[in-house]
Amino acid sequence: MVAGRGAGLLRSATSSGRATFLELFFDLAFVVALTRVSQRFADLGSDTGWALVAGLGRTLLLFLALWLIWSHTVWITSRYEPERSVIQAVVVGTMFAALVMAVTLPRAMEERALPFTVAYLMVMVVRPLVVAAALRGHPRRLVPFRLAIWAAVAAPLWLVGALGPDGLRLPLWAAALAVDYLAWTLGWPLPWLGAAAVGRWRIAGEHLAERHQQMFLVALGESIMIIALAFSGVDYAAGRAAAFGVAFTTSALLWRIYFYRAGLLLTEALDRARMPGQLGAASGRTHALLVLSVLVTAVGYELVIAQPYGPPRPTWLLFVVGGPVLFLVARLRLEYEIFGRVSRSGMIGLVVLLLVPAALVRWSPMVGLSVVAGVLALVALLDALRSRQQPPEDIASPIGRETPGNRGSEA
């Protein structure tokens, strides 16, 4: 009977796979967070050498901490019934913590390190204990207990990093974040209890896919906002107007390339997978790269719109070209997860973008952005031509297939 009461918290076969309005409301906090991440990236536009590397490392760490919070929340609402009051309270509480992290993020590596850390640990340590208590003796309560214990192990590194010398903050937080991600990858193993492999979890595959697609669109929306703000915040000039148009075209091409077949079929692939948790975990890592690539690309928009024909700066290519390169790498990975292969068009675009920086370093930022848009347009065109010449390709994901060697009970 006790387990039965706890079982009511789990998603049933009749539960809707669509994201709830509360979850879309929850994403608003991450709109703010992604804006702050982009701001930190943009502040590195004039840095070089070690200052650039250190700045990129700090910003990437903060992004990965935010992504872990978002990802864990998505898995909670894919595994448990999002209409239950306790789950809704968990989502709202997480949203507030994420908002605190977002507003402290610009100075999270400086004087606002402690509130950033406290908000993060409240989600990582307290939230799983709340879920475990709500499960009321159900066997799956051990999973959130595992999460809480592993998060508590990493907590001293977060707190010492926040309270200690500024020079130790980055290495300590990097070590703490590595523990948190490693624990997730291994299934939070504990002595005598073993691990709770995420790949074996029963989840709402349709819901998880939709949430990943929505976060990619949120990132694209962030890029559109940056384009608009960058153009409206400077004096009008024909060159800036041209950069504004090319930047918007680039974002539209990112949308087209992502959703052409692979991104569009993610929902169906997760729905068909015998082990959707395994494919969902792989897809989550891929979408972290996709979202990051859009943020980096958006920083390139801002730099180019501000000075489209300014002096060439090699570090700008890190954003103008590096963002689209990361996007194509992640997009090829997504194709493999859905179809078990990668497309020629994506490979061609990736190779071209890897070769052009040596030539673009002598040209103005506007030329670099235009070349990137041209390469992405070529990828989209080759995809469109391929779709006309061949019938639509069916899903053939090599991930999430259950074999006799990996059968087992679901945690």
Query: pLDDT digit of tens for each residue in the chain (411 aa)?
Result: 445 556 677 776 667 677 888 999 999 999 999 999 999 998 887 777 788 888 999 999 999 999 999 999 999 888 888 888 999 999 999 999 999 999 999 999 999 999 999 999 999 999 999 999 998 877 788 889 999 999 999 999 999 999 999 889 999 999 999 999 999 999 899 988 888 877 777 777 788 889 999 999 999 999 999 999 999 987 888 999 999 999 999 999 999 999 988 888 888 888 888 888 888 899 999 999 999 999 999 999 999 998 999 887 888 899 999 999 999 999 999 999 999 999 999 999 999 999 999 888 889 999 999 999 999 999 999 998 888 877 777 888 888 665 444 444 455
Same domain, 322 and 378: yes
Same domain, 154 and 269: no
Same domain, 75 and 175: yes
Same domain, 220 and 368: yes
Structure confidence at residue 13 (pLDDT): 65
C-alpha span between 159 and 173 (Å, rounded): 9
Structure-token pair, residue 106: 């610009």
CA 362, 364, 369, 371 torsion: positive or negative?
negative
Structure confidence at residue 6 (pLDDT): 65
Supply the range of the domain harboring residue 375: 205-389
Q: What SS3 class is residue 10?
A: strand
In total, how many domains does the chain have? 2
Structure-token pair, residue 350: 């990736």
Same domain, 152 and 247: no
Same domain, 149 and 220: no
Question: What is the DSSP code (8-state) at residue 399?
Answer: S
Domain boundary among 142, 161, 196: 196
Structure confidence at residue 411 (pLDDT): 58
Residue 299 belongs to a domain: yes
Q: Do 310 and 46 form a contact (C-beta atoms < 8 A)?
A: no
Residue 77 belongs to a domain: yes
Q: What SS3 class is residue 194?
A: strand
Long-range residue pairs from 48-52, CB within 8 A, at least 24 positions apart, any chain: 48/315, 52/315, 52/318
Q: What angle do CA 364, 299, 255 make, to 5 degrees?
A: 105
C-alpha span between 19 and 14 (Å, rounded): 14
Residue 160 belongs to a domain: yes
C-alpha span between 123 and 322 (Å, rounded): 32
Q: Model pTM?
A: 0.92
Q: Which amino acid is at 63?
A: F
Range list of H helices, 164-275: 166-186, 205-232, 238-258, 266-272
Residue 409 belongs to a domain: no
Same domain, 378 and 278: yes
Residue 170 belongs to a domain: yes
Structure confidence at residue 189 (pLDDT): 92
Residue 394 belongs to a domain: no
Same domain, 192 and 234: no
Residue 401 belongs to a domain: no
Q: Which of 301, 348, 355 is nearest to 323 (CA)?
A: 301
Domain boundary among 155, 174, 196: 196
Domain boundary among 153, 176, 196: 196
Q: What are phi and psi of 352, to 5 degrees?
A: -60, -45
Same domain, 184 and 230: no
Same domain, 162 and 218: no
* Residue appearing with tokens 């990802």: 71
Same domain, 286 and 181: no
Same domain, 136 and 214: no
* Residue appearing with tokens 């890029």: 223
User: CATH number of the domain that 216 lies in?
Assistant: 1.20.1410
Residue 91 belongs to a domain: yes
- Nearest 10 degrees: Cα torsion 385, 388, 394, 395: 20
**Sequence-separated (6 or more) residues with CB below 8 Å from residue 28:** 95
Q: Do 58 and 109 form a contact (C-beta atoms < 8 A)?
A: yes
